[in-house]
Amino acid sequence: MSKSDRRIDIEEISGVTVARLLEKKILDEANIDSLGQELFALVDKDGRKKIVLDFTLVEYLSSAALGKLITMHKKTSTAGGKLALCSIQKDILDVFKITQLNKVLTLCNNLDDAIKKIG
Amino acid sequence: MNEHVEFEASIPSKLYEDFGLQDKIVQLMERFSYSVRDVFAVRLAVEEGVANAIRHGNRFDESKLVRITCRIDDSKLRMEISDQGAGFELGAVPDPTQANFIERPTGRGLLLLREYMDRFEYADGGRCLILERERNSLLPVMQG
């Protein structure tokens, strides 16, 4: 996969994998399926246990994207790992609250908080 | 009469195609000075409404179309999203926030449509979704 095709950018910080979501709009199914495959590979293929998803760049997301995040949460938990989401813009945070997924997923204000939470 | 714009489009039942529908509607919303909040809500609604029509209505049958009509003026945007499927009973759809369903990966689209749109209803036995959002609407109402 070429760099321009990637939906996430990976960095290791203090033993935590930080995956920065690169798409502004996580709306259409093609993007969402590709994003899901890249996220799931962090657990299924790479065996990573502590993962932060950085939402700084994300401006829109749909319910199909929420579905991938729930599946990612389950995969991480099943593997004995931890997942946190951070730096979520206000409009998107509202989507998490309306669907009450803020009670299921670990949402943090910023990257430092997320690393501390699961590190 | 106030200026208004109407258009109609029919798209095949393919989730992976980008038909430019959202961008076209957003351009109209910007022309009529809708808020950023309105644009966020309508992008979400178009995505959820069309995806539901393709997935649950037409069941990915590419011989069936999804028809979208849109009317916008400086006070309100109205959309109708119609499929050619068997229809459904809105009341039979489970609440995705209930404990039994909260960790399921699907089933949140209707909840989002209801919360973000001033009018949300199904006609024609569940085959026609009617959505309206007023300009500068304050939806969604957030608790706390």
Residue B45, in any domain of the structure: yes
Select the residue of B44, B107, B143 nearest A62 (Cβ to Cβ). B44
Residue A15, in any domain of the structure: yes
Chain B residues in contact with A64 (beta carbon < 8 A) = 51, 106
Task: Give the whole-angstrom CA distance, residue A85 versus residue A105.
Answer: 8
CA-nearest residue of chain B to A71? B105
Kindly write down the DSSP assignment for every residue of A14-77, as one continuous string: TTEEEEEE--SEE-SHHHHHHHHHHHHHHHHTT---EEEEE-TT--EE-HHHHHHHHHHHHHHH
pLDDT the model gives residue A6: 87
Cβ distance A64 to A72 under 8 Å?
Answer: no
The model carries a pTM of 0.93
Q: Which domain holds residue A73?
A: 3-114
Residue A119, in any domain of the structure: no
Task: Give the whole-angstrom CA distance, residue A102 versus residue A104.
Answer: 6
pLDDT tens per residue across span A30-70: 889 999 999 999 999 999 999 999 999 999 999 999 999 99
Residue A92, in any domain of the structure: yes
Cα(first)–Cα(last) distance of chain A, in Å? 29
Residue B91, in any domain of the structure: yes
> Is residue A95 within 8 angstroms of chain B, CB to CB?
yes
Instruction: Report the alpha-carbon angle B64-B50-B141, nearest 5.
Output: 155
ipTM value for the complex:
0.92
pLDDT the model gives residue B34: 98
| Residue B70, domain CATH | 3.30.565.10
Q: Which domain holds residue B18?
A: 4-134
C-alpha B25: how far from chain center: 12
Look up tokens 């690169």; give the residue.
A22
Residue B141, in any domain of the structure: no
> Is residue B99 within 8 angstroms of chain A, CB to CB?
no
pLDDT the model gives residue A73: 97
Q: Are the beta carbons of A25 and B43 separated by less than 8 Å?
A: yes
pLDDT tens per residue across span B5-41: 999 999 999 876 767 899 999 999 999 999 999 999 9
Below-70 pLDDT ranges, chain B: 1, 16, 18, 144
What's the number of domains chain B is made of? 1
Q: Are the beta carbons of B108 and A97 separated by less than 8 Å?
A: no
A86 min Cα distance to partner chain B (Å): 20
pLDDT tens per residue across span A70-85: 999 999 999 999 999 9
Task: Give the whole-angstrom CA distance, residue A8 versus residue B85.
Answer: 36
By percentage, how much of chain A surpasses pLDDT 90? 89
- Chain A and chain B share a number of CB contacts under 8 A equal to 68
Ranges of beta strands (E only) in B1-144 are: 4-12, 65-73, 76-82, 119-123, 128-134
What's the number of domains chain A is made of? 1
Look up tokens 């593997």; give the residue.
A79
Residue A73, in any domain of the structure: yes
With a CB cutoff of 8 Å and minimum separation 6, the contacts of B108 are A63, A66, A67, A99, B96
Structure tokens at A10: 């990976």
Residue A42, in any domain of the structure: yes
| Residue A78, domain CATH | 3.30.750.24
Residue A1 pLDDT > 70, yes or no?
no
